[in-house]
Amino acid sequence: MRNHVQAVVIGGGVVGVSVLYHLTKAGWKDVMLIERAELTAGSTWHAAGGMHTVNGDPNVAKLQQYTINLYREIEQISGQSCGVHITGGIMLAGTRERLDWLKMAKARGRYLGMELELISVDEAEQLFPLMDKKHFAGAMYDPIEGHVDPNGVTYAYAKSAQIGGAEIVRQCRVTELHQRTDGSWDVITEQGTVHAEHVVNAGGLWAREVGRMVGIELPILAMEHQYLITDDMPFLAGKKEQLHCIDFEGEIYLRQERGGMLIGTYEKAGVPWSPKETPWDFGQNLLPNDLDRIAPSLEVGFQHFPQLGEAGIKKIVNGPFTFAPDGNPLIGPVRGLSNFWVACGVMAGFSQGGGVGLALSQWMVNGDPGADIWGMDVARYGDWATLAYTNAKVRENYSRRFSIRFPNEELPAARPLRTTPIYERLQAEHAVFGDYCGLEHPLWFAPGAAEAFDEVSFRRSNAHAHVGEECRAVRERAGLLEISNYGKFEITGKGAADWLSRVMTNKVPAIGRMALTPMLNERGKLIGDFTMCRLAEEHFFLIGTWAAETWYRRWFERHAPPAGVTVRPCAMEYVGLALAGPASREILQPLMSEDLSTPAFPFMSFRKVDVGMVPVLMGRVSFTGELGYEMWVSVEYQRSLHALLTEAGRPHGMKPFGGRALNSLRLEKGFGNWAREFRPIYGPYEAGLGRFVNMDKGDFVGREAALAEKTSGGALRLLSFEVDAADADAIGDEPIWHEGAVVGWVTSGGYGHTVGKSLALGYVPAELAQSTGQFEIEIIGERRAARRLDGAAVDAQGTRMRA
């Protein structure tokens, strides 16, 4: 065993060996994998080996495509068969909603280059004769689905990595990790100490325990999972291998296993395994079967696939594997630790393992994952994702593995967890809440308690009319919105302005002012979208996306400010309320001694003021595009401020409004949102944020690449569309057609209530930005005519917010 290497990968499951192989492929030859027992000894050895490309997140879907295409490559390098069976797959829909979901999945697949096909039940039966078609309404066919041999895949990666220079050490547990002052690691093992510049935690079932060696608690939990294999079925004899099949209503998956069928299910009453600690002596063991637990799914399965009910059971497998709260992997560098990486929580190792290895190795070798992997980034969770939170969410996610998540559906587990002081007040106003980083925030307000719920749907829902009223109140009079769910940082100390100027693209604002600013990575791509607010010479507030707080902290650690400058996350120290609408100044002015007239308190002002007796940090800005004020207060003042504004707004017809109305109002203005319009796959000029990139102020991170984009104009362009929709609006990820070809994708959409139009934002190739040709947007399988808007649908000149 070498005693010094560039990187140690802990764990020889399918994920660890993939990371190892990709590191060698990316040029790091001096790497080592350390495995406690034998390769595959965690959850990998008993996996069913199924693989597919469909995923709710298009960026994850792309990495799944990559994984499946990789198997030929590692077979060729290693000479080891992966046992790849590309049978094709079929997804069966039993309800109209599920058919809608399949139509949307097919549409999304179009711009990912996937050849998904919607087929009738008769066609489905031809392809998959085990089904009883009377239970189904339609189906989708995917030619790129199948299964692999988990053992073969793991050894093919491992051998390919060894050929590339990697060392693999078996029967050697890593027991401790100690960081040296230079950031490198002493990896203490049963066979001695290895000094490594980088450590990767690919510990799978033990990833939590490996995390605890460095003082972190990773939000992952193992669940028991059962599948069974039938005796050989005469029905299958002499036929070509059956397709993979997912029966959503039965919540089961099927595939052929030699002469029988393999049937697995994600049952409703899923059971966590070793919820607090994974025993180190857990070997290649299976867990005791519990057929009663999966009996309800099996009963449906036997009705839907009658031949299965007649087959005997040859084998039952019950094994544990790990999940993050949202079911996507956790990968990337861990904030607060240098050179410590994770690749864990991978619940579909044979669809995702290759993509995970690729992204992580790129990140380690080049400093950037090379793709938009936000949906898998370990930094999407913060300290709020405790063990118990993770337990509740993982169980919910497991039980819903084959359930539809509607765009207006908020899931109930682990709620309410975080609430602000006005939570009960908003409840009394019949707010329907959403969950954001564990915080309850109002989505919309119902007229009475009995109506305060969402009827989940892909189409316009019961909330539609009420959200419309909220939007009209904001445009015509005034509305009050809780905005506590924004991320905030306070930046202080000599050099703060210079540091901000270096990490942000815009010029830092003058004292008492605020400025919008993108943040770029070195490749000139968008990694943040902030409001910089300046209170004093070296005292700033940064307001941005709360969900990305850990991500930003990690970035700020990498681009650390000079000594003396403090960057302090303070999201929940300042809760907020936003007042917006033409009457907002009239409502506020009597409560304040400051002159709120535009000459005295112009658009984009930011000051410490008193509203009544409440000390407030106030910005004159509104994401609604109206005259408006965002107010940030210490937690203990929020109730007073809310009471004061509610009372003052009453004579002006002010209404509370929620996140849904805000979304509609910002779409009318064509304002982009982080994680939708603004993501690391777009540049600032493509996203229409070029005016917030200041090339004259001196150097900043990403300047060179941004300049190149400015010169070339970039490859893409963000456009606003008005869509001839029927009862459903775009929600995001729909394909954009132009003159009969798919040219782009929608990033967000919805109904513009005050303009009475269905609206969408999306990216198309830059050369089509001025096209007068026919655009269409595919909504639930129907191509709807879409007209490009030259400016915002409301107040294109932006005079209202400056009034």
Ligand X SMILES: Cc1cc2nc3c(=O)[nH]c(=O)nc-3n(C[C@H](O)[C@H](O)[C@H](O)COP(=O)(O)OP(=O)(O)OC[C@H]3O[C@@H](n4cnc5c(N)ncnc54)[C@H](O)[C@@H]3O)c2cc1C
Taking the complex as a whole, the smallest distance from the CB of residue 165 to ligand X amounts, in Å, to 20
Based on the shown chain and the rule CB under 6 A, indicate whether residue 15 belongs to the binding site for ligand X: yes
Taking the complex as a whole, the smallest distance from the CB of residue 114 to ligand X amounts, in Å, to 18
346 vs 661, beta carbon nearer ligand X: 346
398 vs 751, beta carbon nearer ligand X: 398
Which region, judged by CB under 6 A, interacts with ligand X, from 6-14, 684-692, 698-706, 768-776?
6-14
- Distance between CA atoms of residues 638 and 616, nearest Å: 10
**Which pair of structure tokens corresponds to residue 95?**
């309800």
Decide if 202 contacts 341 (C-beta within 8 A). Answer: no
Based on the shown chain and the rule CB under 6 A, indicate whether residue 638 belongs to the binding site for ligand X: no
218 vs 480, beta carbon nearer ligand X: 218
Taking the complex as a whole, the smallest distance from the CB of residue 142 to ligand X amounts, in Å, to 15
Residue 605: DSSP 8-state: B
Based on the shown chain and the rule CB under 6 A, indicate whether residue 52 belongs to the binding site for ligand X: no
Based on the shown chain and the rule CB under 6 A, indicate whether residue 211 belongs to the binding site for ligand X: no
251 φ/ψ angles, rounded to the nearest 5 degrees: 55, 40
Based on the shown chain and the rule CB under 6 A, indicate whether residue 174 belongs to the binding site for ligand X: yes
Based on the shown chain and the rule CB under 6 A, indicate whether residue 357 belongs to the binding site for ligand X: no
Number of chain positions touching ligand X (CB under 6 A): 42
Written as one letter, the residue type at 61 is: A
CA 72 to chain centre: 29
Based on the shown chain and the rule CB under 6 A, indicate whether residue 21 belongs to the binding site for ligand X: no
109 vs 349, beta carbon nearer ligand X: 349
Based on the shown chain and the rule CB under 6 A, indicate whether residue 50 belongs to the binding site for ligand X: yes
Question: In what helix (H) or strand (E) does residue 209 lie, and over which residues does it extend?
Answer: helix 207-213
**Which pair of structure tokens corresponds to residue 279?**
């025993």
Among 29, 30, 37, 195, binds ligand X (CB under 6 A): 37
Based on the shown chain and the rule CB under 6 A, indicate whether residue 350 belongs to the binding site for ligand X: yes
191 vs 597, beta carbon nearer ligand X: 191
Decide if 6 contacts 20 (C-beta within 8 A). Answer: no
175 vs 712, beta carbon nearer ligand X: 175
Decide if 596 contacts 611 (C-beta within 8 A). Answer: no
For residue 402, CA distances in Å to 251, 397, 564 come to 6, 9, 52
Packed helices 14-25 and 150-163: angle between N→C axes, nearest 10 degrees: 30
Based on the shown chain and the rule CB under 6 A, indicate whether residue 140 belongs to the binding site for ligand X: no
For residue 734, CA distances in Å to 62, 425, 760, 761, 782 come to 16, 37, 10, 10, 10
Decide if 359 contacts 371 (C-beta within 8 A). Answer: yes
Based on the shown chain and the rule CB under 6 A, indicate whether residue 11 belongs to the binding site for ligand X: yes
Among 10, 112, 365, 588, binds ligand X (CB under 6 A): 10
Based on the shown chain and the rule CB under 6 A, indicate whether residue 36 belongs to the binding site for ligand X: yes
Based on the shown chain and the rule CB under 6 A, indicate whether residue 32 belongs to the binding site for ligand X: no
Residue 700: DSSP 8-state: -
Among 5, 9, 16, 100, binds ligand X (CB under 6 A): 16
Among 347, 437, 452, 571, binds ligand X (CB under 6 A): 347
Taking the complex as a whole, the smallest distance from the CB of residue 12 to ligand X amounts, in Å, to 5
Based on the shown chain and the rule CB under 6 A, indicate whether residue 47 belongs to the binding site for ligand X: yes
Which region, judged by CB under 6 A, interacts with ligand X, from 49-57, 129-137, 538-546, 715-723?
49-57
- Distance between CA atoms of residues 750 and 722, nearest Å: 10
Which region, judged by CB under 6 A, interacts with ligand X, from 203-211, 630-638, 733-741, 790-798?
203-211
Residues of this chain, 234-293, that bind ligand X according to CB under 6 A: none
Please identify which residue in the block is written with the tokens 């972190």.
216
Based on the shown chain and the rule CB under 6 A, indicate whether residue 588 belongs to the binding site for ligand X: no
Taking the complex as a whole, the smallest distance from the CB of residue 297 to ligand X amounts, in Å, to 15
- Distance between CA atoms of residues 607 and 629, nearest Å: 11
**Which pair of structure tokens corresponds to residue 549?**
């707080």
Q: Taking every pair of C-alpha atoms in the chain, what is the biggest distance, in angstroms?
A: 87
Taking the complex as a whole, the smallest distance from the CB of residue 73 to ligand X amounts, in Å, to 18
Written as one letter, the residue type at 628 is: G
22 vs 525, beta carbon nearer ligand X: 22
Based on the shown chain and the rule CB under 6 A, indicate whether residue 317 belongs to the binding site for ligand X: yes
Degrees, nearest 5: CA angle 341-154-159: 95
Taking the complex as a whole, the smallest distance from the CB of residue 52 to ligand X amounts, in Å, to 9
Nearest C-alpha neighbor of 394 from the set 304, 476, 340, 324: 324
**Which pair of structure tokens corresponds to residue 104?**
């949307």
12 vs 434, beta carbon nearer ligand X: 12
Based on the shown chain and the rule CB under 6 A, indicate whether residue 85 belongs to the binding site for ligand X: no
Degrees, nearest 5: CA angle 571-575-580: 120
Nearest C-alpha neighbor of 63 from the set 380, 350, 255, 325: 350
Among 89, 146, 204, 524, binds ligand X (CB under 6 A): 204
12 vs 680, beta carbon nearer ligand X: 12
**Which pair of structure tokens corresponds to residue 139?**
């189906």
For 736, the 3-state DSSP assignment is strand
268 vs 676, beta carbon nearer ligand X: 268
Nearest C-alpha neighbor of 10 from the set 53, 49, 46, 42: 42
- Distance between CA atoms of residues 291 and 301, nearest Å: 14
Among 62, 225, 666, 679, binds ligand X (CB under 6 A): 225
Which region, judged by CB under 6 A, interacts with ligand X, from 34-42, 447-455, 488-496, 613-621?
34-42
Among 155, 227, 458, 682, binds ligand X (CB under 6 A): 227
- Distance between CA atoms of residues 602 and 513, nearest Å: 9
Decide if 719 contacts 563 (C-beta within 8 A). Answer: no
Which region, judged by CB under 6 A, interacts with ligand X, from 12-20, 448-456, 459-467, 604-612?
12-20
> Which residues in this chain contact ligand X in the complex, by CB under 6 A?
10-16, 34-37, 41-44, 46-51, 173-174, 202-206, 210, 225, 227, 317, 319-321, 344, 346-351
